[in-house]
Amino acid sequence: MRFYYYSFFGVLLILLVYALGGALLGALWFALRRWKRAWVLMLPLFALLLILPWAEELWIAWNFGQLCKKDAGTSILKTVEVDGFYDETHGWRADALRQSGYRWMEGRGEESYWRHDRVGDEVRSVRIAQPTARFQFTRDSGTKVFYKVSRQTSSVMDRVTGELLGRYTRYNREAPWFFIGLDRPRMSCDGSNGPPAKDSFLIYRDVLKPRERDQGSIQ
């Protein structure tokens, strides 16, 4: 199980629920005190009061923990040396292309596709009708897989063969009902011991290696 962050005010809310619930059950017990078998009714109600406030958190934490152990993290099936690739997620700035080591890059803008070629220190950009690169990097915006648990993935595909070269998977969970804070941050896991790194989704760095200049070209 992977439980959510603790909140001081959330704990106070749970205690308030216990106090009000205990008072109501105490009043019910007093009303039924003359009934010899009143405990048969009261014991399940007290047990329900103890468990019910935590039921949602237990359910989310269990599913989240199981998914994190199942397939979260990075799976590299194949690495390839390339001059460039198609990045479906966004366009590339000239400085980013220079630093990457790739010789060209295809990306998408708001209304069109672009190709950026590095010629020395200069980057030339032209609008294209469709991507022509063989390899494609994609990232989704997230898919709900369980109650308050979602999955996000990024992957590298061979557009010619349809082969999957690598995939990164991250699971995110939301806060339980009783969490009270200035915000409600998502908790994430990707198979690592600590929190996921900011650039973990950029799996193309591990799959598509910039090609040396004296070697042949693979798009």
pLDDT digits (tens, 9 = 90+) for 95-115: 888 889 999 999 987 788 999
* Helices 8-31 + 38-71 axis angle, to 10: 150
Domain boundaries, the chain: 8-77+138-206, 86-132
Q: Are strands 149-158 and 135-139 parallel, antiparallel or unpaired?
A: antiparallel
Tens-place pLDDT, residues 18-65 = 999 999 988 988 888 788 788 788 888 889 999 999 999 999 999 999
pLDDT band at 175 (very low <50, low <70, confident <90, very high): very high
Residues in CB range of 90: below 8 A, 6 or more apart: 107, 108
- Alpha carbons within 13 A on the beta-carbon side of 106: 21
Kindly state the average pLDDT of the residues 157-161.
Answer: 96
Q: What is the pLDDT of residue 219?
A: 57
Q: Which carries the bigger pLDDT value, residue 186 or residue 160?
A: 160
pLDDT at 197 over 80: no
Tens-place pLDDT, residues 66-86 = 999 988 999 999 999 999 999
Identify which of 4, 23, 52, 42 has the alpha carbon closest to the alpha carbon of residue 188. 4
> For all residues of the chain together, what is the average pLDDT?
89
Indicate the pTM of the whole model.
0.82
